[in-house]
Structure 1
Amino acid sequence: MFDRGVDYPTAVASYDDEGVDAAIDWCCEHMEDGDTLTVWTSLKSNLRNCSQLEQLVNRHSNVKHVIGRGGGSVRGKGPVLMAWADMDDIGKLVRYGGHKIRALCVITWNEDAIRPWVSAARPTVLGDGSAWEDLTPELDPVVVEAMKSLTRTVNHNNTISGGFEKDVVVSTLLALHDAGIRMDGEAMQGWALVNGWSGKNPKHLAKYVEDINAGKRPRCNHVLRADYIDNLRRRAAKGE
């Protein structure tokens, strides 16, 4: 059964006073008794860049600041407010604390750095939403079916940079490419983050796609059935 998708609410906020205030309010609304609100930044010093977040951390005992550079794991169950994160940061956070996340809000710094995630997650938009008027084009339905199959097959506790997981992922991507089916690495990375992939695996996935689209053929030892792509197309057609 395909059930690895994110099961908590998500939001994206603009980096201005309105957006940051709305992000804090949104996270507080998703807190329950005994929860901890986790504020994530890449570096400890980043917190000084935003007075609202600095005051939030310093004035409340149930608000904890975690540093992405130092691991950035969620310390207690509750909502997470990620300030100026990119898709790789989201993947790492989910890898080491996904089961504790009750809700996730990301404050932007570079909209393009998380546009594929926003396109896939369709989060609540807080503050200035003009950056999200143009989203990443939807994935080819056949690619989506392939990604669902990989999500069921891959052991997500392992890296897809080697071993069985690499063989399965690379053979699937090569089959899609050889069949002339368009793949967008960043869009697939965003989809993977929303559907249970974590750590560096979404990033590895995007890199494999980039390499294959550039004409490279990463080595793999897995052989797919001759009718694999046809089966994907049939499943995609049924989904439509």
Structure 2
Amino acid sequence: MFDRHVDYPTAIASYDDEGVDAAIDWCCQHMENGDTLTVWTYQKSNLRNCAPLERLVAQHSDVEHVTGRGGGFTRGKGPVLLAWADMEDIGKLIQYGGHGIRALCVITWNDEAIRPWVSAVRPAVLGDGSAWDDSALDIDPVVVQAVESLTRTMNHNNTISAGFEKDNVVSTLLALHDAGIRLNGEAMQGWALAHGWSGKNPVRLAGYVQDINAGKRPRCRSVLRADYIDHLRRRAAGDD
């Protein structure tokens, strides 16, 4: 009942003249009457690094500049142009403005920092798309079934660092690991972002995976039935 699948259009743009111009055009095409186009940068001074974005903000009353350092809150509905962001930035954007996002375009600065999200979301590619010729990251089908179940059952307003959400997430990850199923933290973080996880929860999910893969066992109360992994395997095989 808590499923928050991201169902708005998405795009990834290269950080060059062609990519930035295409990103602006793409966002404008997704505007409707009364919309505001939100340009996001981590801090206010970043806007000076890109003349086309600086002009866009300065010359149009229906374009708003927000900063991640200032909270990244978006007001009203409309497309969002997220400049030079990483996956944690996307999580913050979804947390504070997710209900108003009509379309999301990310201008990349570090391909590897965003690759898991690109692999999960499969956005439209704008500008130089050579970095995304092979963007797929491996994630086990049983793991997909597990994080789909977590997505449906967790309260996304809560942190996965405490309470039932932590117990559910950590016990699931430990059960998968103990069953010999490979966990890819970055791929799972990208998948979580693509399915509405927000704030710090996607990066915390990846952090738990990193710890478990390193041999640590985060504390939790087990909330899983004994045959849960077998149940996930049947679902992944289409038998349940």
Q: Distance in 1 between matches of 2:239 and 2:73?
A: 37
Corresponding residue of 2:209: 209
**Where does 1:64-79 land on structure 2 (aligned, <5 Å)?**
64-79=64-79
- Relative to structure 1, is the Cα distance of residues 239 and 7 closer, same or farther in structure 2, using a 3 angstrom cutoff? farther
Aligned residue for 2:223?
A: 223
Structure 2 CA distance for aligned equivalents of residues 239 and 230 of structure 1: 11
CA contact (8 A) 1:91 1:202 kept: yes
2:33 paired residue number = 33
The 5 Å alignment of 1:40-119 reads: 40-119=40-119
Partner Cα distance (2:2, 2:132) in 1 = 28
How far does the alpha carbon of each residue in 1:35-87 deviate from its partner, in whole angstroms, 9 at most, with x for none?
00000000100000000000000000000000100101111200000000000
Partner of 2:159: 159
User: C-alpha displacement at 1:4, in angstroms?
Assistant: 2.2
Alignment identity in percent? 79
Cα-Cα RMSD: 1.3
In the aligned structure 2, how far is the partner of 1:77 from the partner of 1:138? 34
SS at match of 1:61: coil
The 8 Å contact of residues 2 and 156 in structure 2, kept in 1 or not, is answered as: no
By how many angstroms is 1:134 displaced? 2.2
1:44 counterpart letter in structure 2: K
- Give the Å deviation of 1:138: 3.0
Q: Given the two structures, how large is their TM-score scaled by the length of structure 1?
A: 0.98
Residue 2 of structure 1: CA displacement? 8.0
> Is the contact made by 1:136 and 1:187 (CA closer than 8 Å) also made in structure 2?
no
**Equivalent residues of 2:27, 2:81 under 8 A apart:** yes
Separation (CA, whole Å) in 2 of partners of 1:77 and 1:104:
12
TM-score (norm 2): 0.98
Structure 2's unaligned 5+ residue stretches are none
Contact 1:72-1:93 within 8 A present in 2 as well: yes
Once the two structures are TM-superposed, the CA of residue 222 in structure 1 deviates from its matched residue by 2.2
Distance 2:163 2:107 in 1: 36
What is the aligned partner in structure 2 of residue 182 from structure 1? 182
Matched, 1:171 2:177: no
Deviation for aligned residue 1:5 = 1.0
* Separation in 2, partners of 1:20, 1:40: 13
Distance 1:181 1:111, change over 3 A: same
Q: How many corresponding residue pairs?
A: 240
Q: Distance in 1 between matches of 2:15 and 2:137?
A: 24
Amino acid in structure 2 at the alignment position of 1:31: M
Is the CA contact 1:2–1:148 (under 8 Å) kept in the aligned structure 2?
no
How far residue 187 of structure 1 moved from its aligned partner, in angstroms, is: 0.4
Letter in 2 for 1:5: H
Conservation of the 8 A alpha-carbon contact between 2:2 and 2:154: no
Contact 1:79 1:103 in 2 (8 A): yes
Which 10-residue stretch deviates more, 130-139 or 187-196? 130-139
> Post-superposition, which runs of at least 4 consecutive aligned residues in structure 1 deviate over 3 A?
none
Report the counterpart of residue 121 of structure 1 in structure 2: 121
Q: Specify the SS of the correspondent of 2:238.
A: helix
CA contact (8 A) 2:2 2:153 kept: no
Which residue type is aligned with residue 18 of structure 1?
E
Cα deviation per residue 1:79-101 (whole Å; 9 max; x = unaligned)?
00000000000000000110000
2: distance between equivalents of 1:53 and 1:202? Answer: 29
